[in-house]
Amino acid sequence: MPPSEEETAVGDPTDWELDNNNQFFVEYRLERERMRSREIDMLQQLINNPNVTSESKIEAEKKLLKLQELMEIELLVENAIRAQNFDQAILIMQEDGALVIVNAKELSSEQILLIAEIAAQSTGLRNSQIKISNQLGK
């Protein structure tokens, strides 16, 4: 059975084809919210299930808190970057760093440094662990 249209759309966001204007940013945020809602629902069900061990509930609570912290960091970084006159920005946290995608035709070295510093401040990562991509420039 072939994957559904929704399953095909998810994939790895760093592999998605970036198209013009704001469509990529809107689609990415919508998909991220859908995935997060499912994950939060699953964790809440584990926490509220009387048949789940207390250790599993504690682990689910920790994951839920970590997810909420990640959501706050993403919002903070994305809004801080947009406040620097970038139309759109997305933060994608990865195991060993982060990827920031902005909607810009070109990025100067000063802009790249500014974006990296904003992301580093909020994530606790070093500038060298943060990759920056401009959506329009590809």
The pTM score is: 0.78
Closest CA to 77 of 107, 106, 31, 114: 114
Q: What is the mean pLDDT of residues 21-26?
A: 84
Three-state DSSP at 72 gives helix
* Topology classification of domain 20-134: Helix Hairpins (1.10.287)
Give the model's pLDDT for residue 12.
Answer: 57
Give the model's pLDDT for residue 93.
Answer: 94
* Per-residue pLDDT reduced to its tens digit, 103-126: 998 999 999 999 999 999 999 999
| Contact present, 61 and 46 (Cβ < 8 Å) | no
The residue ranges of every structural domain in the chain are 20-134
Binning pLDDT at 50, 70 and 90, where does residue 135 land? Answer: confident
Task: With residue 90 as reference, give the H or E element that holds it.
Answer: strand 89-94
Read off the amino acid at residue 97.
Answer: G
Q: Cα-flanking dihedrals φ and ψ of residue 95, to 5°?
A: -55, -45
Q: How far apart are CA 53 and CA 115, in angstroms?
A: 43
Token pair for residue 16?
A: 């998605």
Q: pLDDT > 90: what percent of the chain?
A: 75
